[in-house]
Amino acid sequence: MKTFNIKPADVKKDWVVIDADGLVLGRLASLVALRLRGKHLPIFTPNVDCGDNVVVINAEKVRLTGNKARDSIFYWHTGHPGGIKGRSKGQILAGKHPERVIEKAVERMLPRGPLGRQQLSNLRVYAGTDHPHAAQQPLAVDIGAMNRKNKRI
């Protein structure tokens, strides 16, 4: 038996839309990262971007369990002395760009390097229900129905 390795020219990417309304952040991010990498496909090849294009809508309605909205902090540094800054996930979700919480969670589940950055570019996250990718005819995937723990009401 020979190992199957797909070539980048042979990859066929599908479009998937996921509604994040009421979904738990970590469970959503892990399933999105799985789709972006292509690990759900039988033709998965670790060194080729064979994953799908994923569109996530309703990012502002994602749920956090426990005290993560208050206690889980995203840190960054301005580059100046004493320039460490941080905001909690709850503040970011309530702020101007709630889609960044999902983007960061998925980014940290993908491999670091050129391939991970290429796979992350196939993710589009929108705060509301509208998205400009209707022409690609994305397939709707119901993450909440996969496992009862995926959805919080």
pLDDT digits (tens, 9 = 90+) for 37-82: 999 999 999 999 999 999 999 999 999 999 999 999 999 999 999 9
pTM of the model: 0.92
Looking up tokens 């209707």, which residue turns up?
Answer: 134
CA dist., res. 93 & res. 64, Å (int): 10
What is the pLDDT at residue 127?
96
Max Cα-Cα span within the chain? 58
54 SS3 class: strand
- pLDDT single digits (tens) 88-143: 999 999 999 999 999 999 999 999 999 999 999 999 999 999 999 999 999 999 99
| pLDDT score of 2 more than 80 | yes
Rounded CA gap, 17 and 54, in Å?
6
Quote the tokens at residue 50. Answer: 């064979």
SS3 24: strand
pLDDT at residue 153 in the model: 75
Determine the 3-state secondary structure of 151 from DSSP. Answer: strand
**Is the separation of the CB atoms in 94 and 62 below 8 Å?**
no
